[in-house]
Amino acid sequence: MSEELRNTESAESGSVPELHRIVDMGSAVTRTAHGNIHCLTIVGQVEGHTLAVQGTKTTKYEHVMPLLAMVEESDEVDGLLVLLNTVGGDIEAGLAIAEMISGMRKPTVSLVLGGGHSIGIPLAVCTKHSFITPTASMTVHPVRMTGLVVGAPQTFRYFERIQEQIADFVTTNSRIDRETFLSYMMRTGEMATDVGSIVYGKEAVQLGLIDELGGLSDALSCLHRMIEERNKEKES
């Protein structure tokens, strides 16, 4: 960020710390009459235990996980909005983030923009309500093999178990049935260099993978309603 931008922001509103949070962490807290909403972006590649290739946009799980714990415990945050445009990435890191969001008591809403591919699917369905824009896409495919693993029968069984975990999580946190999800995962002939399927906004909703077709205002309105309902439950 340029020094000029920092100085301008400081002079106008004194909100440099908040601006730094947006630039460095991809998150921000918005204070409204409906409540305080923490917006978290999951973009690029979900980075796991090893660093991504230099120049790759990443979401670092070691940043996101403590941030989610803070959101859940903070009295100053009423709800979480997750904005997704990710190519996927590390399976364990992605599932860890998805499990944390799924286990939150506070209202959570996700919005898939551009893409929610691969491990981005569990991240899209882990919230209490999910949205996808009409032009956004989601790639469902089996666990891929890299040159870092041994090509032995035990390795393939390990991959099968990981796929089962992913399928269990997705079908538990969405309306898609297991058989349909696995059939889309193992489909051939749709992608030139891979096994799997690409589904777009409307189809993702029809399959039950995503709850609703919509944009930012729809996601925010849903989150506002959930926050209001939770506040009423607290008062009663």
* CB 75, CB 106: distance < 8 Å: no
Active-site hit among 102, 110, 118, 130: 118
Q: Is 117 a catalytic residue?
A: no
Q: Is 118 a catalytic residue?
A: yes
- 121 vs 129: CA distance, rounded Å: 13
Give 140-207 as a DSSP string: E-PPP--TTS--SHHHHHHHHHHHHHHHHHHHHSSS--HHHHHHHHT--SSBTTBSSEEEEHHHHHHH
Active-site hit among 141, 174, 197, 224: 141
DSSP assignment, residue 134? T
Give 55-121 as a DSSP string: T--EEEHHHHHHHHHHHHH-TT--EEEEEEEEEEE-HHHHHHHHHHHHT-SS-EEEEEEEEE-TTHH
Q: Which positions are annotated as active-site residues?
A: 118, 141
